[in-house]
Structure 1
Amino acid sequence: MLSEVENFDNNNSDVMSPEDKKKYLSELLADRESQRLADIAVRNEKRDKERASHESQDLFAAAFSSEYEKLTYELAQIENATFSPGVELEPLQTELQNIAIRIETLQKNLNESTNFLPVRSIGSYKSQITSLQISVTALRDALQPKKKFAFKLKRKPIQSTSASASPLQKQTQSQPAASEMLIKPLFECIKNQNIELQGEKVDGQDVILQNIVDSQVRILGCPATLHLLNVENSKVLIGPCSSSVFLEQCSNSTIVLACQQLRCHTSKNCYLFVHITSRGIIEDSTGLKIGPYSLSYPKLDDHFKAANLPRERNNWQKIDDFNWLSKTEKSPNYSYIPENEMQSFLLG
């Protein structure tokens, strides 16, 4: 600005009148101020768009994960009924068709949201939708008359996907071998033990751990999804999960986990140290204390990358309680861990 004024003085001091000179300088200053305000407006607009994009991503992730879990659970219920003696197939076929329509809606919502979703998230969502579609196709075949015998053929396609399943599936599938389970591997009845799971046992797998009592469990890898069922007086340390973690009937335990979506049901009096990239959801739970993820081990960074979880984004304070409807007051069913109760979990 000063250089422009100096050049103007040197070149026009003998040409322009004082009034014209004053007018010219005023216009120059006004132009500069207009440009400055325009630059500020552009920066503010960019910042607002980025903020809106992040908020939209959070809302989509919460809605998608909620519907995905409901669909997975309902598919598991249909599967359980399919192999029950004397079951009528027509009502199940109607229910399955309704689920197929909801999956199409889920796909449509994803297609309409690709403009603000990260590429890696779009790939993950597409994979989950594909797993649901495969499950519908397999169940539709199984529900055809005289085809109930095709038990193994039904399960093999589903086994290759990352679709999570309800614990009810595990309780009713007594016939198939472990390699034919919808979710594998399945570790259960762990009491007074100190165990560690890693490598091919967990990487990319849908993992269930259930009936864990007075034990310490370390999962040092990156599962696709993880279900913890009936955990009591135990410590469970979990590496990054690429999709969801489901907690069911956990009590008086410390659980350290990283995932895209957390769902916690019918649990009480637990410390949860979490890394969540969307939102955490609790239901029928009380006495939960929640803090930021604090697990560290040599391959943790590699596992975060493999799970496509951004380290810099942790929404551990964004918790929705489905039993608490107030939008102005925080739910009394959970609290944030005070600084004097924070813990770090360092593994060699």
Structure 2
Amino acid sequence: MEEEQYQTKQTPITNETLDSITQSKHEAMLSRLSNLHQSRLLQQSLTRNSSDSNSSFESTKSFLTNFSESKTSIESQLHLCRNPDSSKPTLKSDLNNISTSITDLERFVAENSYFLPSYEVRASLKTISDLKETLEIANSELLPKKKFSFKNKSVVKKEMSNAEPVVRVCDSVVAEKHSVQVRDSLGFRNEEGVVLVKHFGGAKEGDFTLSDLNGCEVRITGCFRALYIHRLKDCRVFVGPVLGSILIEEVEGCLFVLASHQIRIHHAKGTDFYLRVRSRPIVEDCNGVRFAPYVLDYEGIERDLKESSLDEETGNWENVDDFKWLRAVQSPNWSILPEEERVSGVNISSSEALSIDC
């Protein structure tokens, strides 16, 4: 009798009840699988982040090792050159080789700066600056100073505002009037109101210098190793890809269109820079400088950019580092050039006419 009463109180097990139980078990299983999948994704993410961190650490470690070895090698070469017993006939070529090594080291920093901590970049650039200064001292001590200054007197200068500009093509070194701490390289110096044109051939040539120019227009095409710019006023400078670095000092009221692995700007005022650069541009002691993307065009520029590893736009033209501005807020010394004030394209394919799209 009791057994009959117990059976009477039980809930009948129907097909609907079985379906409900099965559904609950299925949902529980899916939940467990989802949690397991999320756990695995999290573990993979942590492993990947750890791997990236280790990779970045190893890259920085490798860079510092290579940089240190190159620095030591350059210092050893400088020491040998300054040795009183050094061979005089090869002294100039030895110093030029050291200059090339320093430029290569500077390019090495620029190419690797994207993953390096900022303090390592600054320390490396300071070391390179010290090496350059030591080299300049060695040059002044070991090589005789020039006693004469030569210039091409066959070209009559004309004011750009009153007549068609003189177009001068650079095919030799023009000596400087002033004592400037730059290499005795090919370049344009001490010119006013003229158009200056230089084309580098297929070979990746050496250094080029622009100094003491006033109201000039400079057009440089092709690939070369390094560009040094000193004391320019009211100039327009259009330059193809530079394999290493560009150093700019004391410019005012100018417009520059430049592509390089590294660009450093010192003592610039009221000047616009249209850049393509692999590393962050560096400014020091500047004011009123503005930045925009590279807009240069000429026949063969795509090939030159690719050979120089500058064919990709990195966006670093707007990631400017002001080394004299250490606060967290935006430096007041530089700004982005407003789009409505930018030129949209500059074509320097012809040495006689310049095409600028506004």
TM range (shorter): 0.5 to 0.7
Answer whether contact 1:183 1:206 (CA < 8 A) is retained: no
Cα distance, 1:269 vs structure 2 = 0.8
1:212 alignment counterpart: 213
Match of 1:195 in 2: 196
CA contact (8 A) 1:283 1:321 kept: yes
Please tell me whether residue 141 in structure 1 is matched to residue 114 in structure 2.
no
Greater alpha carbon shift after TM alignment, 254-263 vs 31-40: 31-40
Matched, 1:112 2:61: yes
Show the counterpart of 2:225: 224
Contact 1:281 1:321 survives alignment (8 Å): yes
Matching residue of 2:253: 252
Secondary structure at the residue paired with 2:269? coil
Give the Cα–Cα distance (whole angstroms) in 2 for the partners of residues 317 and 283 of structure 1.
Answer: 16
User: Residue 266 and residue 52 in structure 1: after superposition, are their counterparts in 2 closer, same or farther (change >3 A)?
Assistant: farther
Q: 2:249 & 2:346 partners in 1: Cα distance?
A: 26
Partner of 1:346: 346
- 272-281 vs 183-192, which moves further: 183-192
Structure with more helix by fraction: 1
Q: What residue identity is the alignment partner of 2:92?
A: K
Could you tell me whether the CA contact under 8 Å between 1:202 and 1:219 is conserved in 2?
Answer: no
Structure with higher strand content: 2
How far 1:297 sits from its partner (Å)? 2.2
Q: 1:182 to 1:216 in 2, by over 3 A?
A: closer
Q: Which moved more, 1:219-228 or 1:39-48?
A: 39-48
Report the CA distance between 1:224 and its aligned residue.
2.1
**C-alpha distance in 2 between matches for 1:211 and 1:201:** 28
User: What displacement does 1:160 show?
Assistant: 5.1
1:336 aligns with 2:336: yes
Question: 1:155: Cα distance to partner?
Answer: 2.3
One-letter identity of the residue aligned with 1:333: N
Structure 1 alignment gaps of length 5 or more? 1-13, 58-108, 115-121
CA shift, 1:194, in A, is 1.0
Q: What is the percent sequence identity of the aligned residues?
A: 22
* Structure 1 partner of 2:27: 26
What is the Cα deviation at residue 158 of structure 1?
Answer: 2.6
State the alpha-carbon separation in 2 of the partners of residues 298 and 52 from structure 1: 43
Q: Aligned partner of 1:112: which letter?
A: K
| Contact 2:245/2:263, CA 8 A, preserved across alignment | yes
Is the partner of 1:267 in helix, strand or coil? Answer: strand
- Corresponding residue of 2:292: 291
Q: What is the SS of the residue equivalent to 1:286?
A: coil
Q: CA deviation at 1:270?
A: 0.4
Question: What's 1:326 paired with?
Answer: 327
Q: 1:324 & 1:142 partners in 2: Cα distance?
A: 38
Call closer, same or farther: CA 1:289–1:324 in 2, change over 3 Å: same
Rg comparison, structure with higher value: 2
For the aligned residue pairs, the C-alpha RMSD in angstroms reads 4.1
Match of 2:157 in 1: none
- Distance across 1 between alignment mates of 2:139 and 2:83: 24
Could you tell me which residue of structure 2 aligns to residue 238 of structure 1? 239
Structure-2 change in CA distance of 1:305 and 1:38 (3 Å): farther
Aligned residues: 269
* TM-score, structure 2 normalization: 0.62
TM-score (ref. length: structure 1): 0.63
Aligned to 2:92: 152
Which runs of no fewer than 5 residues in structure 2 stay unpaired? Answer: 1-14, 107-131, 147-171, 174-181, 350-358
**1:309 paired residue number:** 310
- The answer to whether the 8 A contact 2:247-2:264 is kept is yes
Q: Quote the offset at 1:271 in angstroms.
A: 0.6
- What is the DSSP-based 3-state SS (H/G/I as helix, E as strand, rest coil) of the residue aligned with 1:346? strand
Where in structure 1 do 4 or more consecutive aligned residues deviate above 6 Å?
42-54, 128-131
2:212 partner amino acid: N
Amino acid at match of 1:213: N
